[in-house]
Amino acid sequence: MEQGTLAKFDEGGDDADRPAEEAAAVASPDVDDVDLVDLSEERFPEADEHIEFSVKQVDYTVEGSGDDEHPVLHVFGRTTDREPVHARVYDFRPYFYTPVSGLDLAVDADSPLTAADVVDSRLDHDRLTGLETHGDRPGNGRDSSELVVYESIRGEELVKVFGQTPRDVGELRDRFDHYEADILFPNRLLIDKDIRSGVRVPARELDDGSLKLHHAELEPVECAVDPRVHTLDIEVDDRQGFPEDGEQTIVCLTSHDSYRDEYVVWLYESPEGVPGPEAVDDYEPIGDGDLDVNIRGFNDEAAMLADYLEYVEKTDPSIMTGWNFDDFDAPYLIDRIDRLSGRHDRLESDRLSRVNEVWDSGWGG
């Protein structure tokens, strides 16, 4: 995840077709590695303690509306005691790079450039929030209106263009010759903060138990903790043909939790069928020891799926996986839950997500 050099891309090839990742092996020697910001005591009061945890997932949500929309990054992980942590990271702004040479500048513009020197009409969009200046990174003695200028591997001067949300970066980047606009926002945080393993953050706890912090308070550390893995397999009624779009009944879900080394089976016992087993007998597991399986029988499919969601929320896995999981089990489970959502309280597929946003992308996930 190093951003310092991209020399491996500079091995020939057509400039017009070069990948975006090539562009900004950027360096700005006058800007400190760590952002210095004026942290408001009201928003981010001083914390008495800090916590270190291994990062397992980074996602984001967009809060507010209209001109007040802003992204919030969610960093999930585990402490060395395997306790879950959810840190909400504020004020990290989505951006891409564009060459200074491609911007329209004022006739009397001189080095060092200031924000007022840039008169490019393409920046006049309410979803673009400006260019990075030294005012965004105080503490280095530079004029606050002076642009922060980076250098690509080809020696080209670049500046950052900020979008209001990550969505705006994707929609408006083609106005410019752009670099690194295709880096996903969660990955952008990991790269810029040099997070390779874990982080140290203030233990500033909110009412829901999550932590609130400014992005400048993220400190990368070495912290390795095994992820909690949830392995899932579902069985679907296929007597009417191959099941699609959540149309047929899920008759069974079987999961394994890596922390508890626990197997749980959720079994739909149809009113027209026979009762399910209470235990798995005469089965020889792979490896040593007995196989302990928790079998949960239900005569209502919606109730069964709701109980499964409750289990996922309580165990809070970092990884959900299984055989053909991306292509069938996961999207079918989401579709089936959505179809039955009105039949049971809190039967919502969004509960499968730590940020309460689930969708089937249609391309393997």
DSSP letter string, 198-216? EEEEE--B-TTS-EEEEGG
What element of type H or E holds 234? Answer: strand 229-236
Residue type at 186 in one-letter notation: P
- Same domain flag for 213 and 320: no
Task: Tell me how crowded residue 158 is: count the other CB atoms within 10 A of its CB.
Answer: 25
CATH of the domain at 234: 3.30.420.10
Helix (H/G/I), strand (E/B), else coil: 328:
helix
pTM: 0.85
Structural contact between residues 244 and 232, judged by C-beta atoms closer than 8 angstroms: no
pLDDT band, residue 33 (cuts 50/70/90)? very low
Residues 295/254, Cβ–Cβ less than 8 Å: no
249 shares its domain with 315: yes
> Do residue 123 and residue 51 come from a single domain?
yes
Asked whether residue 88 falls in the same domain as residue 197, the answer is yes
Task: Please report which confidence band the pLDDT of residue 278 belongs to, taking 50, 70 and 90 as the band edges.
Answer: confident
Q: What dihedral do alpha carbons 334, 336, 338, 339 form, nearest 10°?
A: 160
Residue 300 in any domain: the answer is: yes
List the beta bridge partners of residue 256: 231, 263
Among the three residues 225, 241, 275, which one is the final residue of a domain in this structure? Answer: 225
User: In this predicted structure, what is the pLDDT of residue 10?
Assistant: 40
Closest CA to 96 of 39, 152, 18: 152
On whether both 177 and 241 belong to a single domain, the answer is: no
36-58 pLDDT, tens digit per residue, is 556 677 789 999 999 999 999 99
Does 272 share its domain with 145?
no
User: Would 361 be classed as within a structural domain?
Assistant: no
- Give the total number of structural domains in the chain: 2
Same domain, yes or no, for 208 and 103?
yes
Q: Are residues 110 and 253 in the same domain?
A: no
- Summarised one tens digit per residue, pLDDT across range 124-162 is 999 999 999 999 887 777 899 999 999 999 999 999 999
Is position 365 within any domain?
no
Q: Please report which residue ranges of the chain form alpha helices under DSSP H.
A: 166-172, 185-192, 301-315, 330-339
Which domain-ending residue is among 169, 195, 225?
A: 225
Q: In the chain, pLDDT over 90 holds for what percent of residues?
A: 73
Whether residue 279 sits in one domain with residue 166: no
63-77, 194-208, 285-299, 305-319: range with lowest mean pLDDT: 285-299
In angstroms, the CA 258 to CA 264 distance is 12
Among 88-92, 180-184, 288-292, the minimum mean pLDDT is found in: 288-292
* Same-domain status, 212 and 244: no
> Residue 33's domain spans which residues?
1-225
Whether 362 is in a domain gets the answer no
* Final residue of a structural domain among 175, 190, 225: 225
Establish if 186 belongs to a structural domain. yes
Give percent of the chain above pLDDT 70. 85
210 and 261 together in one domain: no
Q: Do 199 and 234 fall into the same domain?
A: no
